[in-house]
C-alpha cells in the first residue's frame, strides 16, 4: 500500500512539473522510491548454474537444489533437524517435534550413513541395521515428496574393528593409523571403497514419484578440526585430509557415477580467519557447500556467544559469495535435559541474530536429533516452545511451508 501511494504521488508530481514548473527549477521536490532497488551482483543464473557445481553431470534436480539454496540465503534460511521423523523428545512419536510445535515440518531433514554402511548390515530383511537403512530411505523419500532438503553426515566407525568413531574409545595405535590406512595404497583403502560402494548403491536408488533421483547434500569427515573423531586434525595432515576428501568425491562421482550429490565441507568452530577455515579445504572443484558445526559458541553464552558464532558465519558467507558456494550452519543446538534448563530467548534472539547479522547469507541450519531424555528443538509441551515458534516465524526463517520449489529452476 505504501508503495502504491508513492507511485500516485510520483505521477501527481510529474504532472505538476510538466504543466507548471520549469525543468531548471532547483526547488523541484525530490521523489524517493521506497523501498530502494537492490541490485543482485550474484553471478549465478539459471543458465549457468550447472557450471558452478562439483559434478558437471549433476541431475537437473540437483542443479536446481544448488541454485535455489544459494538464492534462498538472500532472504531466508531453511530450518532443519537430524532424524526429525524418527527421534522425538520423550519418545512421543507421530509428527516431527518441529511440526508438533509449529504446525509445519522442518525444511531440512538430516540423516546418517552410519548404519547403512555398518559391517553388521547384511542387506537382509530382519537385520536391525538393514531395517535402519530402510527407515532412512523411506524418510528421505518422504522429505523429498514434501519439498524438503535432505542432508547426510557419516559417523564412520574406524577400520580396525569397526566398533567406534570416537577416539576416546580407541587405542593409541588405532588413532595413529586409522585415517592413513584408508588413503590410496593404504592397508584399508579397499575397505573404504566398499563402504563408498554401499553409499553409492543407496544414493543411486533414492528416487521420487516420477523415477527421478533425489538430490542429497553429503558432509563427509565433518568436524575434522577437533580430535574427537578418528579423522580429526590430530590424526592426519592437511594434505592427507584433502586426499581422502578428494578421493571420496571422485570415487562417487566418476567411478560409481553418482550424480545426485552436493558435497559439503564442515569443520567445527575452531577457526577465526579465512586462512584457518581453508587450511584443510580440498578445493573449489570438490565442495558445493561451505559449512560449520557449532555448538560450543552457543552453549549458554548469550549474546557474546552469538556474536562469536556470527563472526565465523560471516567468514564462511563472504567466502561463499566469492566462490559461489552455499553457506550452512550444518549442525548446532542447545540441548535441554533434566539437569540443563533452557536459555530464555535462545532461538528467537541469540541464534536468529547469529544467522542474520552483518549481512550474512546462510542457506540452512540443522539441529541435532531429539531423544527420550533431551531435546535440541522443543515440541509444543515444554517451557521454551514459544521461543522456537517465535524463531521459526521470523522474517528470515523458513520451515517447509516457506520454501520455493527447491527441485525446479525458476522459469
Q: Which residue has the cell 549465478?
A: 44
Put residue 221 in one of left, alpha, beta given phi > 0 → left and psi -120 to 50 → alpha. left
CA 100 to chain centre: 22
CA quadruple 185, 267, 150, 42: dihedral sign = negative
Contact 101, 402 (CB under 8 A): no
d(CA 252, CA 259): 8
| Max Cα-Cα span within the chain | 90
Non-local (6+) Cβ contacts of 61 within 8 A are: 212, 213, 214, 215, 260, 407, 408
* Residues taking part in catalysis: 223, 331
Helix (H), strand (E) at residue 330: strand 326-332
28-31 long-range contacts (CB < 8 A, ≥24 apart) are 31/6
d(CA 170, CA 168): 6
274 grid coordinates: 579465512
Helices and strands in the chain: count of H runs, count of E runs: 11, 11
Non-local (6+) Cβ contacts of 174 within 8 A are: 158, 160, 161, 230
d(CA 156, CA 154): 6
d(CA 203, CA 220): 14
Amino acid at each position: 500500500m505504501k508503495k502504491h501511494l508513492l507511485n500516485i504521488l510520483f505521477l501527481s508530481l510529474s504532472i505538476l512539473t510538466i504543466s507548471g514548473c520549469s525543468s531548471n527549477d532547483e526547488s523541484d521536490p525530490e521523489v524517493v522510491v521506497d523501498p530502494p532497488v537492490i541490485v543482485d551482483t550474484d553471478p549465478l543464473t539459471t543458465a549457468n548454474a550447472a557450471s558452478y557445481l562439483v559434478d558437471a553431470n549433476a541431475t537437473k534436480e540437483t542443479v536446481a537444489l544448488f541454485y535455489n539454496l544459494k538464492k534462498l540465503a538472500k532472504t531466508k534460511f531453511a530450518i532443519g533437524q537430524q532424524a526429525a521423523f524418527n527421534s522425538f523428545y520423550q519418545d512421543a512419536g507421530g509428527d516431527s517435534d518441529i511440526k508438533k510445535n509449529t504446525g509445519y515440518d522442518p525444511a531440512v531433514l538430516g540423516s546418517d550413513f552410519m548404519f547403512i554402511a555398518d559391517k553388521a548390515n547384511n542387506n537382509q530383511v530382519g537385520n536391525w541395521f538393514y531395517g535402519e537403512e530402510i527407515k532412512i530411505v523411506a524418510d528421505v523419500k518422504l522429505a523429498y515428496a514434501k519439498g524438503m532438503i535432505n542432508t547426510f553426515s557419516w559417523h564412520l566407525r574406524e577400520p580396525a574393528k569397526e566398533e567406534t568413531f570416537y577416539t576416546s574409545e580407541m587405542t593409541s595405535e588405532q588413532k595413529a593409523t586409522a585415517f592413513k590406512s584408508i588413503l590410496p595404497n593404504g592397508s584399508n583403502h579397499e575397505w573404504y571403497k566398499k563402504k563408498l560402494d554401499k553409499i553409492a548403491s543407496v544414493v543411486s536408488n533414492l528416487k521420487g514419484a516420477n523415477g527421478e533421483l533425489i538430490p542429497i547434500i553429503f558432509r563427509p569427515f565433518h568436524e575434522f578440526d577437533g580430535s574427537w573423531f578418528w579423522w580429526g586434525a590430530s590424526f592426519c595432515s592437511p594434505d592427507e585430509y584433502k586426499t581422502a576428501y578428494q578421493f571420496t568425491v571422485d570415487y562417487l562421482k566418476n567411478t560409481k557415477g553418482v550424480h545426485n550429490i552436493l558435497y559439503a565441507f564442515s569443520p567445527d568452530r575452531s577457526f577465526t580467519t579465512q586462512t584457518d577455515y581453508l587450511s584443510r579445504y580440498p578445493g573449489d572443484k570438490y565442495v558445493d557447500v561451505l559449512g560449520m558445526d557449532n555448538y560450543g559458541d552457543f552453549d549458554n553464552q548469550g549474546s557474546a556467544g552469538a556474536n562469536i558464532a556470527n563472526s565465523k558465519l560471516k567468514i564462511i558467507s563472504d567466502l561463499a559469495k566469492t566462490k559461489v558456494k552455499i553457506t550452512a550452519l550444518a549442525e548446532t543446538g542447545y540441548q535441554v535435559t533434566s539437569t540443563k534448563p533452557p536459555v530464555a530467548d535462545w532461538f528467537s534472539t541469540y541464534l536468529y541474530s547469529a544467522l542474520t547479522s552483518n549481512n550474512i547469507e546462510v542457506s540452512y541450519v540443522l539441529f541435532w536429533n531429539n531423544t527420550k531424555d533431551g531435546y535440541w528443538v522443543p515440541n509444543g509441551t515444554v517451557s521454551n516452545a514459544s521461543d522456537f515458534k517465535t524463531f521459526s516465524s521470523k522474517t528470515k526463517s523458513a520451515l517447509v511451508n516457506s520454501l520455493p520449489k527447491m527441485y525446479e529452476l525458476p522459469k
